[in-house]
Amino acid sequence: MAVLVFAGVFALLIGGLTSFIFVQNRLQVAKEHRESALQIAEAGLNYYRWFLAHNPEDITNGTGEPGPYTIPYNDPEAGQVGTATLTIDGNEQCGQITSIDISSEGHTLQKPEYARTVLGRYARPSVAEFAYIIDASVWAGADRDIRGRYHANGGIRMDGTNQSTVTSAVSTWQCTGSFGCNPTQTQPGVFGAGTGSELWEFPVPQIDFVGLTSDLVAMKTRAQTNGVYIGPSNDDGYRMVLRNNGTFDLYRVRNTSYAWSIHIDDLSTWQRDYHTITSQTFLANYELPDDCGLVFIEDKVWLEGVVSGKITIVAANVIDANNDPDLILNNNITYSNYDGSDGLTAIGEHSVLIPLVVPSSMELHGVFIAQRGYFGRNLYRCQYAPYDKRTLLSVTGSIVSSERVGTKWSYSYSGCGSTWSGFDTRENAYDRKLATDPPPLTPYVSDEYRFVEWREENN
């Protein structure tokens, strides 16, 4: 009986051990085939990147027929060992393909049940990948909190907090009194008392600002064909209020009042800003086309409201070469949804400005492009209190400016003494969702297509 008992126990142990070995072997085989399937899926993405480099915007794999498309994966010694199945979708806005989504499912021939899927978005990188792009030298003050890539074609004095790369296209530059250097000093491309200095890089290749800025004539033509075009007001301009149902209200601005100010591009004299609306007339409520959220307004524009969908708004005048309108950010600009379905690109042919009368805590979402001027809030002196001083400016998105930016000033003036004007605290963060799926006709920083998004999908 003892022999039988021990023999039974031994048989159970051997059986259990054998079963464990077989299970582990199956797990190892599954792991190997799943890893191979992932590599085959990635090879499928790389194949179509190669194909698009030779056949731009062809989303049919050269067949002229809808997919999916089966691509064999060959080993140089063993022949075909797997297959990648590609599904290609082109994203089109305003009659133009803006990006291509590629889904690649890979599996081995031996174990096709162990499939892996990789998704990639192929596009030109847009300005929305940056928090700032500036075609001049700039000073980021100690109260700045910047989350996103910060680039200037000139020098950078960085006294704020940066949580991404800060890049300058120059190795050295002349820091003058307007940048806090007195007397003028020769400084490295990026310098200052800010944190994150390990992320400072200079010199780096210059971003071609001429090539980056939008072709306004082409945008006007597309708006007339596919979007919404508004001609000159023959008055002071237009006020545009975005509604959360995908429409916007348009007003003709009849009269404005002025405030004395100093501009960042001319520090020598006080100027009159006619940015406060005193009289306006409602014109109409406009609905944006589903396939082209482009609005081209051939005049100065005051913009505010709630964005619904992907919208690009342009304030420009291509009729009169001597008239470069500004875009005025008249109030908060927010989104209906923050899941990536809403987004704004706002372009001013000259400057994108925050006027005197705005909320003390102001919130802006979108890509803001000052094509020939600057993004900022001018210096308003103490006689305009309490509006001369505001508490917080929060920008989620990107700022692109031809000239130096500025939203806070230190100054001394008779009757005011030594004081400051603008926003006490400034926060900037790029919008990752806009970086991979920007609004229509958002400018690109490079003509070279690449994968702007790459991720695995759970099978």
pTM of the model: 0.87
pLDDT, residue 454, reads: 85
Domain boundaries, the chain: 2-125+453-457, 213-443
Give the contacts of 128 (CB within 8 A, at least 6 positions apart): 345, 367, 397, 398, 430, 431, 434, 435, 438, 442
Q: Mean pLDDT over residues 152-175, rounded?
A: 94
DSSP string, 319-334: S-TT----EEEEEEEE
The rounded distance, in Å, linking the Cα atoms of 52 and 57 is 7
Handedness of CA 386, 272, 180, 165 (dihedral sign): positive
The rounded distance, in Å, linking the Cα atoms of 164 and 405 is 19
Which pLDDT band holds residue 117 (cuts at 50, 70, 90)? very high
DSSP one-letter code for 416: T
Q: Mean pLDDT over residues 263-292, rounded?
A: 94
pLDDT tops 80 at residue 263: yes
pLDDT, residue 19, reads: 59
pLDDT tops 80 at residue 234: yes
DSSP one-letter code for 129: G
pLDDT tops 90 at residue 30: no
Q: What type of residue sits at position 277?
A: I
Question: Do the Cβ atoms of 187 and 175 come closer than 8 Å?
Answer: yes
Which pLDDT band holds residue 23 (cuts at 50, 70, 90)? low
Strand segments, DSSP code E, in 24-125 are: 69-75, 79-93, 96-108, 116-123
DSSP string, 18-46: HHHHHHHHHHHHHHHHHHHHHHHHHHHHH
Give the three-state DSSP class for 110: coil
The rounded distance, in Å, linking the Cα atoms of 348 and 325 is 7
Residue 15: is it exposed, middle or buried by C-beta count within 10 angstroms (0-12/13-18/19+)?
exposed
pLDDT, residue 8, reads: 61
Per-residue pLDDT tens over the stretch 380-435: 999 999 999 999 999 999 999 999 999 999 998 888 888 999 999 999 999 999 98
Which pLDDT band holds residue 113 (cuts at 50, 70, 90)? confident
Q: Mean pLDDT over residues 67-81, rounded?
A: 85
**410 Cα distance to chain centroid:** 30
The rounded distance, in Å, linking the Cα atoms of 24 and 12 is 18
Half-sphere exposure of 451 (CA within 13 A, CB side): 15
Adjacent-strand bridge partners of 119: 103, 455
DSSP string, 340-379: SS-EEEEEESS-EE--SS--SEEEEEEEEEESSS-EE--E
The rounded distance, in Å, linking the Cα atoms of 232 and 253 is 12
Peptide bond into 359 cis (omega under 30): no
Dihedral pair phi/psi, residue 28, rounded to 5°: -65, -40
Dihedral pair phi/psi, residue 416, rounded to 5°: -115, -30
Per-residue pLDDT tens over the stretch 166-210: 999 999 999 999 899 999 999 999 999 998 899 999 999 999 888
Q: Mean pLDDT over residues 365-385, rounded?
A: 95
The rounded distance, in Å, linking the Cα atoms of 116 and 3 is 52
pLDDT, residue 21, reads: 56
Question: Do the Cβ atoms of 282 and 242 come closer than 8 Å?
Answer: no
The rounded distance, in Å, linking the Cα atoms of 251 and 108 is 62
